[in-house]
Amino acid sequence: MRRKFILILSALALSAVTAPVQADPIPAHFVLTGSGYGHGVGMSQIGAQGQAMEGKNSSDILTYWFPGTSVVPVNDNLPIRVNVAHQATYASFTVVKPVLGATYSLTSLGSAAAQANPTPIVTAANCTMKFSVYGKAIAESTVCPGSTIAASVAPATLWNISWNNPNTTVLPQTLNMSSSSATMQLKYGYLQLRYVAGKMEITDTMNLHNEYLYGISEMPSSYLPAALQAQVIASRTYALGKMNTLRKECDCNVYSSMYDQSYIGYAKEAEVGVGQLWRAAVDATNPDAQTGFAIMYQGKPISVYFFASDGGTTQRSVDVWGTAQPYLTNVPDPWSLDIFLNPYYSHWQRVLIEKDVAAAFNLPDVVSMKIDALSSAGAALSVTATSSSGASAQLQIGDFKTKLKIPSSWFQIAPPGY
């Protein structure tokens, strides 16, 4: 009997050794619940709107989000070069509803001879100018009604285009730009097309004081005047910080895209019903023709940031980008969590398909994810995923949000199978 009992125990032990280890099941998806939209550093735009609804003015709003700063008038009657088409291979320009008698002025500046004798070519405004990369230069041709395409001048590495001559009585006109990299309607300044590393960089040089700001599209124009003015002042301050650097790769001070701040040209002030509200906000931040309000710290324009909404408290810049600024710190933001002010992002949920998560972490599969650490504002700093084999990989929060299209860093990860 004892021998039989020992044999049973041995069999059980053997089966325990040889039985396959059950791996954690691979979930079909993961669920994230969170709040906010954006990086969370600086001015909360939902918060600015909430403060405007409470009667705060633009200066009150800005000094709340950027503690220790002041809002003062500075000289902003300066030219700013804005890249409106990056790495383009072709572009065309047409005046919108040309006024009788209006003209283009096209000048080739791409050779020593042209620079020594920059003779403008005046073309009727109902013609279309076309440009394309040709060898190591930019070729131009003009198409007028009833005419064939003909080259105006030899290819050049630099062209100037002016479509509003200040010495005439012709009203300012808008110009349609269509290129391989961007489409935009422009009203102010003058254009330059420069050959850079096999492509065209197209820039619009205009006055920062108002012309550039009229086209900034970072906040809904339907917001209250104080919120709009706060955004104008923040955008002016951002631009002032870029004025001393001309970037060779874009031939510009600032991009018109997410690389800097969104500039959409005449479309901003032409928005039906609300465009004039934005224009009025720009004008309201200009004490006179030479100056505009900006956010200053110790006599210099601040490094300004803004975003849509957060998880209840703004982020310190040191937590997000590793660089500390005393005015980019944690500030309470209850407005971002108000469902009436922020109906889409006060609370959100995202369902992530497992194979997309695995691809983001470069793992064969993912059975679990966890947030490794939180910032002082309660936002995630990094996320680690584990595969069924036990291998793990970590993503910093910026990469995690980009790869999986997550609105903000304020979220929680539900248990697998949720």
Indicate whether 166 belongs to any domain: yes
pLDDT tens-place values along the chain, 418 residues long: 444 444 444 444 444 444 444 567 899 999 999 999 999 999 999 999 999 999 999 999 999 999 999 999 999 999 999 999 999 999 999 888 776 667 778 787 776 666 767 767 777 778 888 999 999 999 988 888 877 666 567 888 999 888 875 555 556 788 999 999 999 999 999 999 999 999 999 999 999 999 999 999 999 999 999 999 999 999 999 999 999 999 999 999 999 998 899 999 999 999 999 999 999 999 999 999 999 999 999 999 999 999 999 999 999 999 999 999 999 999 999 999 999 999 999 999 999 999 999 999 999 999 999 999 999 999 999 999 999 999 999 999 999 999 999 999 999 999 877 7
Indicate whether 299 belongs to any domain: no
Domain of residue 372 covers: 23-42+305-418
CA–CA separation, 260 vs 249, rounded Å? 14
End position of a domain, from candidates 233, 249, 283: 283
Residues 110 and 245 in one domain: yes
Distance between first and last Cα of the chain: 51
CA angle at 39 for the pair 36 and 40, rounded to the nearest 5°: 65
Residues 128 and 203 in one domain: yes
**Does the predicted TM-score (pTM) go above 0.85?**
yes
End position of a domain, from candidates 214, 249, 283: 283
Indicate whether 222 belongs to any domain: yes
Residues 264 and 400 in one domain: no
CA angle at 318 for the pair 234 and 339, rounded to the nearest 5°: 60
